[in-house]
Amino acid sequence: MDDARPMDSDTSTYSLITAGQILEKYPLYLNEKARASIPRRPGCVYHLLLQVPLRMLLNGIILQQAHDYQVYVQKLFVDYLLSGESSRDESAPGALTREDLEAERIKVVELSQAFQAFERTHARSMSESQEALTIVARDWREAVEASALRMAPVLKKAGISTTANSVFHGVMDAFAHVEGRLSVQSEEFWDSFGERCGKAIDEPLRKALLPLLPDVTAFIKQVQASATVWDVRAHEQGDEVRRFRKNYYDAILKTGELLALLPEYRKDENRDVENRELLYFDAHLGGDAGAS
């Protein structure tokens, strides 16, 4: 897994809205400033924990779009079949078009069978990846809790009256601003930590606290080891769900073109307008889509 890759444009569209909710499921609670820093820190432990769930979420949104296309094209065929046009005599005008429509209907049925299997695979991947990353997040939380217990007495001795709980949240927030072990010496890290403690952390105190912090580098490696296989799978499934969306879109176009060729078939325009309400979404989300 590429730990230096920032959240891409599609993922970051939803990241600030959903990152906090995803982190809370781990459960990891960060303040708003810390959450806002995560997309800019591709090497931070929280960014790595979020990358796969956000990609899975994006795949789920595209999957819903493909499902809406599926429902629409199925309704086109239902209206066609209910009209009685499909059962007209072979000698009636439009016989070849009706044959083409039947062939297209069979293709849509086969596509839907494959799509249903993909939906099950996607749901299973979401569940299993979340379970694997939750274990890593739990280990990180426990490491930060242990550090907070060691740091609280040092802070108290330095004249900073704070609780282990405040120290815990201060460390959790501060690590949203760094991407590795050396980064904990940055001003941004200690400014964030000091905000939670209610007092600036001077250089001597920083040196005393530094050895007590959890080894973020080790946890970044742990996240990468757990997330790599899921990151690859999420991208593969993203490609697959976009193909489903495009195939359904193409089926809508093809079916509409064939129905328009039937001399006696008249589409119910009011019903079609109602059916099309499903399709009012960003059909280019994730790329490789047809526009509705």
Could you give the CA distance from residue 77 to residue 259 in angstroms, rounded to a whole number?
9
Segments of the chain scoring below 70 in pLDDT: 1-17, 180-182, 270, 272-275, 277-292
pLDDT value of position 208:
96
Note the pLDDT tens digit of each residue in 186-227. 899 999 999 988 889 999 999 999 999 998 888 888 888 888
Residue-range domain boundaries for the chain: 9-266
pLDDT value of position 290:
46
